[in-house]
């Protein structure tokens, strides 16, 4: 089974992708991880990507595409995969289709984790990080024993700029604008299944697994 997983920041996409891979015995292909692995093992593609990153530039689509082509050729992918973090645009979706087509493969289902803005803002804006040791807390879901103080090292907790409400709302607006056409593309291909991600992670996972197994 070959799955594409889409969802806004804060919808729990990474967590779901890992759990899905475990439950359905599929390879988890995260383009973020793929890029980091290529860079850290200094593959030719990784070295090329690093040049862009060092200059503070985005890694070009073509490089990511080549990394994906490599990855799809590896043996653990034969039993199927979950693609996480790609595609983000219609062009990437079309590229993905043609890479897979060349290998005699195709996407079987696309899950879109749909989360309301209020829930995402609550989840992300509640995050607190320890200045000293980097431990993570959450104002509501995982509060520290003493407000503003790290349980582990006593360091002080702060909110990252990325987790401030205004930044989150901006990121969500950018995401929504980008993803609308992509969702239409997969809807037209009759591959799209929308799953509400506002529930607890285990409930969301069960809905996805049941749907995937019914294919």
- Return the closest-CA partner of residue 4 out of 99, 75, 74: 99
Residue with Cβ nearer Zn ion (132 or 213): 132
User: Residue 73 and residue 124: Cα distance in Å, rounded?
Assistant: 36
Q: Give the sheet arrangement for strand 192-196, strand by strand.
A: 27-30, 81-84, 2-6, 109-114, 192-196
Note if 171 is an active site residue.
yes
Residue with Cβ nearer Zn ion (84 or 163): 163
| Contacts to Zn ion by CB under 5 A | 130, 132-133, 135, 150, 152-153, 155
Residue with Cβ nearer Zn ion (28 or 127): 127
The residue from 131, 132, 160, 211 that is catalytic is: 160
User: Residue 47 and residue 5: Cα distance in Å, rounded?
Assistant: 28
> Rounded to the nearest whole angstrom, what is the least distance from the CB of residue 9 to Zn ion in the complex?
24
Note if 139 is an active site residue.
no
Note if 127 is an active site residue.
yes
**Beta-strand (E) ranges in 31-135?**
81-84, 109-114, 127-130
User: Residue 56's CB: how many other CB atoms inside 10 A?
Assistant: 6
> Rounded to the nearest whole angstrom, what is the least distance from the CB of residue 146 to Zn ion in the complex?
12
The residue from 18, 50, 171, 207 that is catalytic is: 171
Q: Which residues are catalytic?
A: 13, 88, 127, 160, 171
């Amino acid at each position: 089974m070959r799955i594409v997983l889409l969802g806004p920041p804060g919808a729990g996409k990474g967590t779901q992708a890992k759990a899905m891979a475990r439950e359905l015995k599929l390879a988890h292909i995260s383009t973020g991880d793929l890029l980091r692995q290529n860079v850290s093992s200094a593959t030719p593609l990784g070295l090329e990507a690093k040049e862009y990153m060092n200059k503070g530039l985005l890694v070009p689509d073509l490089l990511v595409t080549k990394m994906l082509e490599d990855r799809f050729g590896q043996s653990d992918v034969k039993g199927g995969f979950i693609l996480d973090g790609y595609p983000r645009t219609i062009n990437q979706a079309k590229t993905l289709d043609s890479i897979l087509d060349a290998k005699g493969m195709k996407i079987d289902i696309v899950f879109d984790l749909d989360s309301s803005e209020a829930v995402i803002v609550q989840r992300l804006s509640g995050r607190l990080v320890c200045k000293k040791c980097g431990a993570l807390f959450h104002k509501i879901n995982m509060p520290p024993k003493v407000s503003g103080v790290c349980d582990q090292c006593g360091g002080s907790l702060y909110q990252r700029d990325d987790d401030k409400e205004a930044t989150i709302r901006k990121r969500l607006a950018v995401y929504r604008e980008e993803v609308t056409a992509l969702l239409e593309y997969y809807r037209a291909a009759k591959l799209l299944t929308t799953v509400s991600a506002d529930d607890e992670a285990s409930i969301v996972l069960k809905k996805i697994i049941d749907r995937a197994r019914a294919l």
